Amino acid sequence: MSTSLRLANRTLGKSVSTRATSCSSPLCSPRVLRQQRFYSSEQPRSGGGGDRIKFWPFLALIGLGTAAYIQLANTRVKNKDMPPTTEVPAPAAQLSQSKPVFDPADVTVVFVLGGPGAGKGTQCARLVAEQGFTHLSAGDLLREEQNRPGSQFGQLIKDYIKDGLIVPMEVTIKLLENAMSEALRQKGTTKGRFLIDGFPRKMDQAHKFEEAVCPAKLVLFFDCPEKVMEERLLERGKTSGRTDDNAESIRKRFRTFVETSMPVVNYYESQGKVIKVDATPAPEDVFKTTNKLLTEKLSSA
Ligand SMILES: Nc1ncnc2c1ncn2[C@@H]1O[C@H](COP(=O)(O)OP(=O)(O)OP(=O)(O)O)[C@@H](O)[C@H]1O
Ligand SMILES: O=c1ccn([C@@H]2O[C@H](COP(=O)(O)O)[C@@H](O)[C@H]2O)c(=O)[nH]1
């Protein structure tokens, strides 16, 4: 683990143990989170009058988030095995810029949301075949980064995924931006249509991605009861090799989904951007509905 991550964990761990408050840092380790609120990376609800807000931790967290971004950007630029990326701008400029990297007139982004095992990946694969989207799964990109030799974030990603927690947004957003750039570069164009699968899972990710990378046109939401999703995931777990396709991780992922990711769906719903699809029928039936609704909505949006 890098010096700044160790420093981050040490610093935050200390503040947790003395103040027993929750850590919302993008660099806060799940080991630290486990000491407080096990299932969610959300801020704790405020206590009584003695629980006054202190501002120095927030300044420290902004600095640490920036350090994480620099490390990821540098890692990918230095590693010759990685595909070429867009020029990496200074992190502060990147994350606070008012203009997104991609022009929504050229690049169509559709977020694909739904609980774990709802069938997001299955439907995205069909939409790629039918409609020529580029499919980018945030989970797949994180697993790839986790397994990349020399990654500064391998262990951190591994821990977060196993615990069903949401990886610091700087990491995921940079991976998505790089993958979008690379897909366009390979096609030799500035125009493209992307299905961003399993992202954003938290409100801060949604805001930051739209501000810094590309505004989203629509959100596909696959609605599925937990019981059905659980059965699918346990079945998938027999062969997937995923560290989070087991009963305990599934329970944690469901909790994160309800507490942290459903507010994102509700937010986009209030903007009239959500296409909600019942994900319980057979895959081909879910696809027929999805394809029809998405085509209609894209042509009218
Ligand atoms: N409509 C469906 N009916 C039955 N099984 C399905 C359906 N859709 C997907 N599955 C199966 O359920 C499992 C989970 O599907 P998939 O990987 O597409 O879900 P996901 O939402 O992308 O999951 P995760 O968020 O965990 O990556 C897979 O084994 C898949 O084959
Ligand atoms: O934006 C994201 C997306 C995913 N994660 C982590 O990855 C796992 C697995 O994601 P799948 O979409 O099910 O493949 C998820 O539980 C999170 O831990 C993330 O942190 N941020």
> Rounded to a whole number, what is the distance in angstroms from the first to the last CA of the chain?
45
Least confident of 63-67, 75-79, 104-108, 132-136: 75-79
Ligand 1 contacts (CB < 6 A) are 114, 116-122, 139, 198, 232, 236, 279, 282-283, 286
**What is the pLDDT, as a whole number, of residue 56?**
60
For the Cβ of 115 lying below 6 angstroms from any atom of ligand 2, the answer is: no
The residue ranking higher by pLDDT, 45 or 161, is 161
- The secondary structure of residue 257, as a DSSP letter, is I
Can you give the C-alpha Rg of the chain in angstroms? 19
- The 10s digit of each residue's pLDDT in 60-85 is 555 555 555 555 544 443 333 333 33
According to the annotation, is 271 in a ligand binding site?
no
Q: Is the pLDDT of residue 28 over 50?
A: no
Q: Where is pLDDT greater, at 98 or 29?
A: 98
What is the per-residue pLDDT across 176-218, written as a single tens digit (0 to 9) for each? 999 999 999 999 999 999 999 999 999 999 999 999 999 999 9
Q: Are 176 and 141 in contact (CB under 8 A)?
A: yes
Q: Which atom of ligand 1 lies at the shortest distance from residue 197's CA? A: 22
Q: How far is the CA of 77 from the centre of ligand 1 (A)?
A: 34
- Going by C-alpha positions, the residue among 295, 290, 297 that lies closest to residue 122 is 290
- Residue 42: helix, strand or coil by DSSP? coil
Q: Which atom of ligand 2 lies closest to the CA of 120?
A: 12
Count of C-beta atoms within a 10 Å radius of residue 296? 11
Confidence of residue 37 (pLDDT cuts 50, 70, 90): very low
E strand segments, the chain:
107-114, 134-137, 192-197, 218-223, 274-278
pLDDT of residue 9: 31
Q: Give dist(CA 145, CA 151) in Å, integer.
A: 7
Residue 165 CA: which ligand 2 atom is closest? 18
Element containing residue 293 per DSSP (H, E): helix 283-300
Mean pLDDT confidence for 163-178: 98
Q: pLDDT exceeding 90 applies to what percent of the chain?
A: 66
Ligand nearest to the CA of 249: 2
Collapse the DSSP code of 124 into the 3-class scheme (helix H, G, I; strand E, B; otherwise coil) and give the result: helix
Two tokens, residue 94: 């990147």
Place of tokens 């610093």: 11
Structural element, H or E, at residue 66: helix 56-78
Which whole-number Å values give the CA distances from 186 to 36, 60, 136, 148, in the listed order? 45, 39, 14, 21
Biggest CA pair distance of the chain? 58
Chain centroid to Cα 119, Å, comes to 17
- Report whether 166 contacts 199 (CB < 8 A): no
Q: In the CATH hierarchy, which top-level class contains the domain 117-296?
A: alpha beta
Q: What is the ipTM of this complex?
A: 0.99
Mean pLDDT, range 163-183, rounded to an integer: 98
The larger pLDDT score, comparing residue 28 to residue 243, is at 243
pLDDT at 196: 98
Q: Does ligand 2 have an atom closer than 6 angstroms to the CB of 169?
A: no
- Give the per-residue pLDDT at 54: 57
pLDDT digits (tens, 9 = 90+) for 231-265: 999 999 999 999 999 999 999 999 999 999 999 99
Phi-psi sector, 108: left (phi>0), alpha (psi -120 to 50), beta: beta
pLDDT at position 98, please? 75
Q: Report the DSSP beta bridge partners of residue 223.
A: 278
Instruction: For residue 273, give the amino acid letter.
Output: K
- The full DSSP string for 175-204 is HHHHHHHHHHHHHT-S-EEEEEETB--SHH
pTM of the full structure = 0.77
CB 283 within 8 A of CB 291: no
The mean pLDDT of the chain is 79
- CA 92 / ligand 1 centre spacing (Å): 38
SS3 assignment for 24-41: CCCCCCHHHHHCCCCCCC
Q: Mean pLDDT over residues 92-113, rounded?
A: 83
Alpha carbon of 200 to ligand 2 centroid (Å) = 9
